Structure formats: C-alpha cells, structure tokens
Structure 1
Amino acid sequence: MDETESSKQKKLRTGDHPPTNPAATLLTDDLVVEILSRLPAKSLHRFKCVSPSWRDLIAHPAHRKKLPQTLAGFLYGTDDSHFANVSGGPAPLNASVPVLLDKYLHLDTCNGLLFCLCYSEPPPTSSTTEFDSHYIVCNPATERWVELPPHPRAEFNSICRTPRLAFDPAVSPHFHVLEFEETDRRKHITGLNIYSSKTGAWNHRGSELGEEVALFSGITSAYLGGMLHLLGMLPMNDFDSVLVVVDMEGKVWKTIHVPHGFSFGTLFGTIALSQGCLHYANTIQAPTSKKMKKKDALSLAPKIALWYLEDYDSKEWVLKHSISTDKLFSRNVMEFKVAAIHPDCDTVFSLSCETGRLASCDMRRQKFHILNLEKSMTWDLLPYVPLFSDSLAEAVGQ
C-alpha cells in the first residue's frame, strides 16, 4: 500500500530514519521552530546535525526572525569597510548596503545593530573646510536605519567624545547611544550625553564617578542587565585597568577592577557578554615560578587568559582558561592583541596588526585557527551577530 503524504512528511522530518520517539513525529514544523527559538544560539546550530529536515528548518529565511543567531564575523577597516567571515557559511552582509561604504565610520555594534558616524566633505563652492557629520544606527540584515539628531553640546569642540551603543532586543526594541565626554587637558570622564530612541531626544549628565577614569579608545562595550560596561584606566593609580559601568539614565555609576594577569600587568584586554555573563580576555606574561626574574619571564611566550565575572555583586573574577601563544604570530607581545570574545563559546580572537592575520583561539580545546584578513594594519574589530527582526522602532529610511 502506498504511503500517505503525512507519513512521507514524518519520514522527512526524522531524516528518513525510523523515529526513536514516535511522539516526536507528531510535531509540526511550526512547533519545532517554536521549540528551537527558545534555545541558545550555540545549541541551535548544533541541532542542524540532527537531520536534513531540521537543518533546512533552521536555515530557512522565513524562520530566521524567530531563531537566535550566533557570531557571523567582524567588520573592520578604517578607510574602507571589510568583513571577516568566521561562521563558515555565506556572508550575511550585502556589500551594497549604504553603511558599508567608505563615508561611514563604524563605531560600535550591539546585538545586531551597527552604530556609525556618517560624514561628507563640504561642497566645492563652500568657504568652510569642516566635514558635515551625524550619527546613524542601522540594522544591516534588514537594511533599515535611523539618523540621530545632533545633541545640544555638539559645539563643545574642546571635549573628547567616546560614543557607544546599548541595545537588547529581548528586553526592548529601543536602543540608547551613550557619548562619554572627557577633558582634553587632563583626560578623564566628565560627563555623558544619552540618546534614547524611545524619546528621540538627548540628555546630558555629569559624571558620578568617585575617581578620575580615562577610557581606552577603540574598544567595544558590553551591555548587560541595563548597564553599559567599558574598559578604562585610573591615571592617578598606576594606570590600573577598570570597567566603567553606567545605567541608561546616567544616574548609577561604578567601577569594577579587572584581572591584571599572573605577573607584570595587563596588556590589550577586551570585554564581552558571552554565554550569559560578563567575560574578560587579556594578554599576560606568565613566569614559571615566583623566583623567576622579571627579565627572564618577559622572554617567555605570552599567554591569552579568559576570565568571567562569577559574582557580579562581589566583583569576583575567575580564571576560566589560558593558552600559550608560542605558536601564534610571534613571541612579541606587542605584535598582537586580544580583540574579541565569542558570544556563545570559550573562543577568543586575537589580531596581528603587522601580518593582517586573525587567530581564533579555542580556549577549552587549546587550539588555534588562523584567518587572513583582506586588509592588514587594523587594530579594531567589531563583532557582528545578524538580527533579522525589524528591530528599529522608529526607522525613518532605508
């Protein structure tokens, strides 16, 4: 007797093998997608191997809005834009998207949104030589964008500014831009300009930090629990490295000290929200014994260390993994830096400025994988996780 259409569909869904659990065959594709949407991205992508039908369900464009996405790659480059694909699949970015053109300076990314400074040269007939510029926030996956209005303090040219993006689609479709102000003369945070996409307006707040903190430039932020985290240092305290933490209203400020490593200070650290908690990675010099002299320890190959904040309230960091870099790039700690942390696993990405190579360091398995970048001499990588939902609540153009 011929198989019914329903029976054929059940076989397809289970990979053409007899199901081990007959109840599973009663699940429709919509129910399977709904269940998969509740999983973390790492588990979801592992389930592509369950069967051909699950692989097709997960990869289908119609389901991408519901399913969590993992790290696709990195935007990098200053004079022009490039994308380093680390997912192994097709590039998720359309090269013709306007924000990937050279008139856009990429400043930050956060949960699928890209934060840029758009600038243009003055017309040839103009008497001024100043560039016209404004901020935009874009979702490259949907090609929708929002242009931010200028804030009232834009004319304060003596102030250094560090703008960052804060966005969590699981909490709200709205985003915030936080622009930290620092003095030119004695560089430290003095205030904060805050833009909310919900109100469409800027607000200014003075710094509530109890100590002078200077921000590191060119380092991405981490948004967790309604608080933005950035790396900074204490010029008045031997340049100790700290996290600057602030809420979206600029009312709550605090600092969290980060690990210095085993011995002689912290070099080229980065932070990220990974696997649900705050992680920090840095490059350290690790002596083999406490009696080893400093000059001898510095001749050793440096290590990459991965830490996580086990207890946010007590600010206690725990060393999760470390890996020797004796087979990575070179033995010169100044030649490369820790550039990013994978959001779904214990993988740290290190960047060589001199050779234009990106190393994926699997900290748990102690393995390296080298990628050659199209453009060398870059120190900044912006991680990109696609967001296929229409997240920009007040999009004004495309």
Structure 2
Amino acid sequence: MVSGRSEMDVELGEDVLTEILARLPCRSLARFQCVSTSWRRIISSDYLRRRLPLITSGVLYHGGPSGGGGDDGAKRAYTYACAPDGGGGGVAEAGDMGFFPCHDASTIIDGCNGLLLYYASRPAVFHVVSPTTRQWAALPAPRARTLLSVLAFDPCASPRYRVVCFTGWLPRGATIEVFDSERGAWRGHEVDFGIDTDAMTATMHYFGGALHVLAYSGHVVRVDLDTMACAVTALPAPVSCRARAGHCRGRLRFASSDGARLRIWELQDAGAGEWALKHEIGAGDVVPGGSSQAITFLFMAFHPEREVVYLWSPWKLLAFNMVERRVEEEWAFGSEKEGAHLIQIWLFPFSRHLASALA
C-alpha cells in the first residue's frame, strides 16, 4: 500500500479523481481502496457512495433436488447471479465463483446484502463468501447439527456479519448457535418466539440488527440478535408462501401477493400493530394493455430508499416504480434458464464495510 497522496492524486486533483472513481465497477472500487490512503478515503466517502448505483444480485433456483431437512440434506441447486453494472437493465448472468476453491464441494444455502453462505456437510463447514470483493472466510464448525441456517449482514452499518443456526425446536422457541465475526466464535442461545413454533415460516428478513420472521398465524416475529429478545407484531393480511417482509427508508414493510395483485403495507407503530396500506398494483399495471390472466409476478424485494419494488415474472426481474406505475428496468435471465425460479435478491449500496467484511 502506498501511504498518503500518490503522484496521480496530485496530477488529477480530488474532484476529477472522484468523478473517475464514480464511473468504475464496484468490484474495481473494492480493490482500489488499497492504492493509497487518499483513494481509500474518497472511496469510503458518503458522497461517492450516493453517486453509485445499488448493487443488484440474486440467487437462481434451477429445480434441482430439494433437501428434506437441514443443511446437510441433498444438495439444493442455488446459483448466484448478478445484474450488469450501471443500471439500464440487460441480461443477468451466473456469477463467476471460480475464485472460491470450495465452490464445487459445497452448496449455497443463503445470502444477505452481498455475502453468500456456503455449507459442506462432510466435514461440516461454513464459508462466507463475497462475490464483489472475491474474498472468503472459513468458519469454525458449530457444536450442534444445524436444521436451518441464515446469514445476517448490513454493509451500511458495519463489516460485522453473523451466521444464525437453528439447532433444535421448542414448543414456542428454538435453540440456536450464532457465529459473530467480531468474536470469531459460536455462542449458544435459547429464544422464546412468543408464539407456537409450528406457526413459524422460514421466510426471514434481516434489518436493523434483527431477524424478522413471518408466521402463518398472521404475525411477524422480531428476533434481536444482540439481546435474543423476541417481539410479536400482528400483520395486516394473512401470510402465504408469496408473502415477504422487507424495509424501505428505515421502516419495516410487508408485501402480500396472489400472483396477479400485490399489496404493500408499512409498519407505523410496532407496539400497537398499526400498519398503513402504501401501494396496490395489479398485473395490468406491470404490463399495460396485456391480458392480466396471462401475467403472473412474484414480489422479490423493496428498494431500500425509493418507492420501487422488484418483481419476478418468469425469466425476467423487473424494477417497478410504484409512484409512476411503470417498469423502470428489467433484467433477463436467458432462454437457457427457462424453468429457473428466482428465490431471493438483495439490493444494497457499495460501502467500505462491504469491502472490509472479509478482509
């Protein structure tokens, strides 16, 4: 690393250098933080971060065999894919994970805001991998067999990430082990969901230091990963396999869809369980003039800062502006992936915390 200001910094000037850096792919920015301390400061600045587009990434499900239990069941064919840099739509392609030496020997089981969670059963080992910075970390083996594992990471808050493993079910809770990257070790806990465990789903959203878990009883359970305290909030609509939790502008949102119509609520008061209906869109809004009976879409994610949602319509990912009621961008996944099912996407800004999470 070169300390201080390089000759290039002096020749170009900071304003010109910032404009150049703002036009580079995020992967290049992650590497260029090591050029000099002045480059690192510019790349880490909030001004540059606001200039950069959100990173859009996803996981494709290719219809392979489904494991029947925990992380060590039959392999589930999850493949990482990402949209091209710079916005404007285009063709999304499977990410090149060849840099990760254990890619072929393990399986992607979850992802969160730019990091992927890999698992191999023999021997049992977790890896956390960053496709953006092409770095990875091997985790020590957990003490108990895991039934369900999720990754928790917020690149806007800190480089800290956690892996939450559910190791046993209780009538109204669970035993879990949590790996914390700051401690570098697993720690066991017992949590009380506050409702019957049989009602809990595997649909979870990490936000604000907590897992938000949807329950078929018509509730969302907030599990604080610092204190392990749980809070139960009633939802404004029933929970189905198409329901999702998310956030926008710092507020929790709930999306309910029947495949042809989508309704979105925002939590106004968690204590009182008060929700406000923000938007309602139908198939005719997504494809004006088309036959609504022939159009189906699945809600995937909220834009974290704008009134935009991301929808999966077979073989296309759509960015739909709910205020202007139009499709802003769309990404195709290619005819060779017909039959693929997009199960999860993340949208997050480039951040120095993303670049340093696995450093």
Both structures adopt the same fold (TM-score exceeding 0.5): yes
Distance change in 2, residues 1:350/1:153 (3 Å): same
Partner residue in 1 for 2:158:
172
The code of the aligned residue for 1:372 comes to: A
Partner residue in 2 for 1:58:
22
Partner residue in 1 for 2:69:
none
The code of the aligned residue for 2:322 comes to: M
Cα distance in 1 for residues equivalent to 2:187 and 2:275: 33
Distance change in 2, residues 1:103/1:88 (3 Å): farther
Residue 348 in structure 1 maps to residue 332 in structure 2? no
Cα distance in 2 for residues equivalent to 1:178 and 1:312: 24
Distance change in 2, residues 1:101/1:344 (3 Å): farther
Question: How do 1:204-353 and structure 2 match up within 5 A?
Answer: 204-213=188-197, 214-217=199-202, 219-224=203-208, 226-231=209-214, 233=215, 239-260=216-237, 268-283=242-257, 302-326=260-284, 328=286, 331=292, 336-352=297-313
Counterpart contact for 2:137–2:358, Cα < 8 Å? yes
The code of the aligned residue for 2:81 comes to: H
Distance change in 2, residues 1:94/1:361 (3 Å): closer
Counterpart contact for 2:97–2:131, Cα < 8 Å? no
Distance change in 2, residues 1:102/1:230 (3 Å): farther
Counterpart contact for 1:74–1:85, Cα < 8 Å? no
Aligned partner of residue 137 in structure 1, secondary structure: strand
Cα distance in 1 for residues equivalent to 2:353 and 2:241: 39
Partner residue in 2 for 1:75:
58
Counterpart contact for 2:299–2:309, Cα < 8 Å? yes
Structure 2 gaps of 5+ residues are: 1-11, 30-38, 62-76
Query: Equivalent of 1:361, from 316, 320, 331?
Result: 320
Counterpart contact for 1:141–1:386, Cα < 8 Å? no
Tell me which protein shows more strand as a share of its residues: 2
Residue 190 in structure 1 maps to residue 174 in structure 2? yes
TM-score by length of 2: 0.69
Partner residue in 1 for 2:67:
none
Query: Equivalent of 2:108, from 93, 106, 109?
Result: 106
Q: CA deviation at 1:169?
A: 4.2
The code of the aligned residue for 2:348 comes to: V
Q: CA deviation at 1:106?
A: 3.2
For the aligned residue pairs, the C-alpha RMSD in angstroms reads: 3.8
Q: CA deviation at 1:377?
A: 2.6
Cα distance in 2 for residues equivalent to 1:314 and 1:97: 49
Q: CA deviation at 1:343?
A: 1.6
Cα distance in 1 for residues equivalent to 2:294 and 2:268: 28
Aligned partner of residue 22 in structure 2, secondary structure: helix
The code of the aligned residue for 2:206 comes to: A
Q: CA deviation at 1:323?
A: 1.1
Aligned partner of residue 29 in structure 1, secondary structure: helix
The code of the aligned residue for 1:272 comes to: G
Partner residue in 1 for 2:130:
139
Q: Greater CA radius of gyration, 1 or 2?
A: 1
Distance change in 2, residues 1:171/1:348 (3 Å): closer
CA deviation digits over 1:178-233, x for unaligned, max 9?
Answer: 223454xx99742221111111111121222222134433x451221x322222x2
Distance change in 2, residues 1:72/1:240 (3 Å): same
Q: CA deviation at 1:380?
A: 0.5
CA deviation digits over 1:145-204, x for unaligned, max 9?
Answer: 2211111112xxxx632x222233454332222223454xx9974222111111111112
Counterpart contact for 2:205–2:246, Cα < 8 Å? yes
Residue 372 in structure 1 maps to residue 332 in structure 2? yes
Aligned partner of residue 151 in structure 2, secondary structure: strand
Structure 1 gaps of 5+ residues are: 1-12, 14-26, 34-53, 120-129, 234-238, 285-300
Q: CA deviation at 1:58?
A: 2.7
Counterpart contact for 2:212–2:223, Cα < 8 Å? yes
Counterpart contact for 1:144–1:392, Cα < 8 Å? no
Partner residue in 1 for 2:73:
none
Q: CA deviation at 1:110?
A: 3.4
Partner residue in 1 for 2:116:
115
The code of the aligned residue for 2:317 comes to: L
Cα distance in 2 for residues equivalent to 1:98 and 1:215: 37
